[in-house]
């Protein structure tokens, strides 16, 4: 069984496919965007990476979400709730954490299946 690396760089790949599993790196939006716009950008990136890996948000198994401040929880969830497949919601965790730079307020990491 081979490993497929999508958009590999010197430090990490944006996605790794092994068998029927797809692992996405933590995705962030554009520095300086508000949390809602960062979330929209992130979810668009996730859609594109999942499509390149041969799957979709309907097959997301797990999501890990980090916010720079839990005050953004409702704002992020409004965008998230409109994005997820309501028939196939993933397991999910969300917490507060310092992110790579102060310009980022949201980071999302996804694990999905390929069916």
Q: What is the pLDDT of residue 48?
A: 98
And the tokens for 110? Answer: 């996804």
Q: What is the pLDDT of residues 2-18, one digit of tens each?
A: 999 999 999 999 999 99
Please report, rounded to a whole number, the percentage of residues in the chain having pLDDT higher than 90. 97
Bridge-based pairing of strands 3-8 and 13-18 is antiparallel
Contact 70, 41 (CB under 8 A): no
DSSP character string of 52-113: HHT--GGGEEEEEEEES-GGGHHHHHHHHHHHS-TTSPPEEEEEE---SSTT--EEEEEEEE
What's the distance, CA 104 to chain centroid? 14
Q: What is the pLDDT of residue 1?
A: 84
Domains of the chain: 3-113 (3.30.1330.40)
Asked if pLDDT for residue 74 goes beyond 90, the answer is yes
pTM of the model: 0.96
Q: Quick one: average pLDDT of 82-98?
A: 98
């Amino acid at each position: 069984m081979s490993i497929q690396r999508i958009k590999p760089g010197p430090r990490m790949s944006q996605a790794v496919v092994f068998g029927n599993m797809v692992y996405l790196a933590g995705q962030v939006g554009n520095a300086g965007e508000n949390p809602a716009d960062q979330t929209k950008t992130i979810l668009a990136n996730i859609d594109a990476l999942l499509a390149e890996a041969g799957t979709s948000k309907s097959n997301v198994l797990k999501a890990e979400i980090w916010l720079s401040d839990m005050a953004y929880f409702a704002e992020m969830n409004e965008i998230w709730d409109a994005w997820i497949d309501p028939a196939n919601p993933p397991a999910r965790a969300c917490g507060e954490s310092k992110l790579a730079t102060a310009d980022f307020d949201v980071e999302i990491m996804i694990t999905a299946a390929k069916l």
